[in-house]
Structure 1
Amino acid sequence: MDILSIAGILVGVGAILLGIILDGGDIDSLVNVPALIIVFGGTLGATLLQFPPAVFVRSVKMLSWVLISKQVDLSAQIDKVIYWSHLARKEGLLGLENAIPDEKDPFIKKSLQLLVDGNESDAIRNILDLDIDAKESTALQAVGLYEAMGGYAPTIGILGAVMGLIHVMQNLTNPELLGEGIATAFVATIYGVGSANLVFLPIANKLKSHVFALTQAKEMLAEGIISIAEGENPRNIKLKLGGYLNGAYKD
């Protein structure tokens, strides 16, 4: 569980609500169903129009990364690479074939299979780099959905405010309806700006940091695999990969 994400939500929303209370305001005044429908319905509609179904589904699945942090144990990964290095020096690259079924990560399986098949280090690097770049690009495209929502929400909020003011102007001769229109106008703006800056954009940046960390973890593994293919000393490999020990995340 990512404690900072939970704390961020509580602190952000709590600070706003506390400020309203201390200022003598009424929290119930922030509850406005028409404004809610306008802002979040409009934002969702614009987002669905922009992104294909596959990206939308991937974005929803990635949302769990915000609260559930799945860190990769880089030290354990380095130990694996060193073990494979010793095994390759002792039994040859074909000796790594028995290690493939024990791995669940498709990227690791592919990396080891490339070694077992006797590919040159340059070929292995090209294949793994292409895999890493493609996965990173796909993940960042999914992250872009939340960035888009963060851009649409304030604009839709302004649209809701204008609609509320139109309602006010149409009922200038009916004072009891003015309050409802004005409330929708201002609350819609709050919903739009607040959701963008407290929810959508922070989610996008959090997911982006996870994607970059995941990419770095795969780059570390690829570097280790290439070093094995080039026959480097296990001790040198361990020293080289030690520079990546700064945390990462897994799928």
Structure 2
Amino acid sequence: MDAAPAIGIGAGFAVVVTANVLEGGNPMSLLLMPPLLLVFGTTILVTIAGGTMKDAKTAGLSLKRAFTSDAADPEELLPQVVTLAEKARKEGLLALEQAARDVDDDFLRRGITMAVDGTDPEELREILESEVYTKRANDKQAAKFFADAGAYAPTIGIIGTVMGLVHVLENLSAPEELGHLIAAAFVATLWGVTSANVIFLPLGNRLKRLSELEVAHMEVAIEGIAAIQAGANARVVTQRLRSLIGSPGTAEAA
């Protein structure tokens, strides 16, 4: 599991709380239910309103992925693809039928299996690229959900502050309460800005980055499968994939 989002968001909140304490504030004064309910509840609801229920469900499922998924590394495919290419070149494509079952990567395994089954190279590439296109579109929508939430949250926080200030004006006859009421009013703006910049926008960027890495992983797999189908030798396969990954090294180093 990649700990980047947990570390970033957790440490971000820790810094905010620490700064509040160092300024002489009480962290509990920030945990007021009305502004928390307004900011988080309304932000999520209006973000749902900007899409479909399917989009909201996809975003909900992607939330777990954002915290628990490891970042895909396209270079991890190199040894597997090169081994398969060597075997296919020496023993023929049909020899990969058993070897494909031992491949850990689901996408690569499906592609190799279809190649072994005799799927036309162009048709196979079209099938796999369609899957990449669909994944990219779904991931883009999930990331957009959190990006939209990050855009709405600060404004909703301002709405909460305005509501609080209206309440302040209603109590001008009780000056001893004004300080507390004004402070409470600005808590909504604080949570609006904080939730946007510490939670929603980072999660949206995290999902976008995960998608980029996973798509790159799949594209490397597609090129590897195509090279294996074409009967390319392992050295050529390695060089081709390294050029896609952008990693240092040559075919001889592999």
What TM-score, normalized to structure 1? 0.86
SS at match of 1:39: helix
Contact 2:136 2:215 in 1 (8 A): yes
Contact 1:136 1:211 in 2 (8 A): yes
Q: What is the match of residue 2 of structure 2?
A: 2
Q: What is the match of residue 249 of structure 1?
A: none
In structure 1, what is the Cα distance between the partners aligned to 2:128 and 2:148? 30
Q: What is the match of residue 221 of structure 2?
A: 221
* Mapping of residues 55-204 of structure 1, within 5 Å: 55-72=55-72, 74-103=74-103, 105-204=105-204
Q: 1:139 corresponds to which letter in structure 2?
A: D
In structure 2, what is the Cα distance between the partners aligned to 1:20 and 1:71? 34
In structure 2, what is the Cα distance between the partners aligned to 1:144 and 1:57? 13
Cα 1:75–1:147 change in 2 (3 A) is: closer
Residue 68 of structure 1: how far off its partner (Å): 2.9
In structure 2, what is the Cα distance between the partners aligned to 1:43 and 1:35? 12
* Mapping of residues 202-241 of structure 1, within 5 Å: 202-241=202-241
Q: 1:88 corresponds to which letter in structure 2?
A: A
Q: What is the match of residue 43 of structure 2?
A: 43
Worse-superposed segment, 226-235 or 53-62? 53-62
Contact 2:71 2:213 in 1 (8 A): no
In structure 2, what is the Cα distance between the partners aligned to 1:171 and 1:195? 29
Q: CA RMSD in A?
A: 2.3
Matching of residue 26 in structure 1 with residue 21 in structure 2: no
Worse-superposed segment, 139-148 or 185-194? 139-148
Contact 1:74 1:245 in 2 (8 A): no
Q: 2:108 corresponds to which letter in structure 1?
A: I
How many residue pairs end up in the alignment? 246
* 1:35-55 per-position Cα deviation (integer Å, ceiling 9, x unaligned): 111111111211222233333
In structure 1, what is the Cα distance between the partners aligned to 2:48 and 2:140? 17
Q: What are structure 2's unaligned runs of at least 5 residues?
A: 248-254
* 1:3-57 per-position Cα deviation (integer Å, ceiling 9, x unaligned): 4333323432222222222222232321221111111111121122223333323
Q: What is the match of residue 252 of structure 2?
A: none
Q: What are structure 1's unaligned runs of at least 5 residues?
A: 247-251
Worse-superposed segment, 194-203 or 122-131? 122-131
Contact 1:93 1:118 in 2 (8 A): no
Cα 1:37–1:176 change in 2 (3 A) is: farther
Contact 2:165 2:182 in 1 (8 A): yes
Cα 1:3–1:107 change in 2 (3 A) is: closer
SS at match of 1:67: helix
In structure 2, what is the Cα distance between the partners aligned to 1:117 and 1:147? 43
Q: 1:235 corresponds to which letter in structure 2?
A: R
Q: 2:186 corresponds to which letter in structure 1?
A: F
Residue 121 of structure 1: how far off its partner (Å): 3.0
Contact 1:120 1:229 in 2 (8 A): no
In percent, how many aligned pairs have the same letter?
Answer: 37
Residue 216 of structure 1: how far off its partner (Å): 0.5
Cα 1:209–1:71 change in 2 (3 A) is: closer
What TM-score, normalized to structure 2? 0.85
Residue 111 of structure 1: how far off its partner (Å): 0.9
Worse-superposed segment, 94-103 or 155-164? 94-103
Residue 70 of structure 1: how far off its partner (Å): 1.9
Q: 1:38 corresponds to which letter in structure 2?
A: L
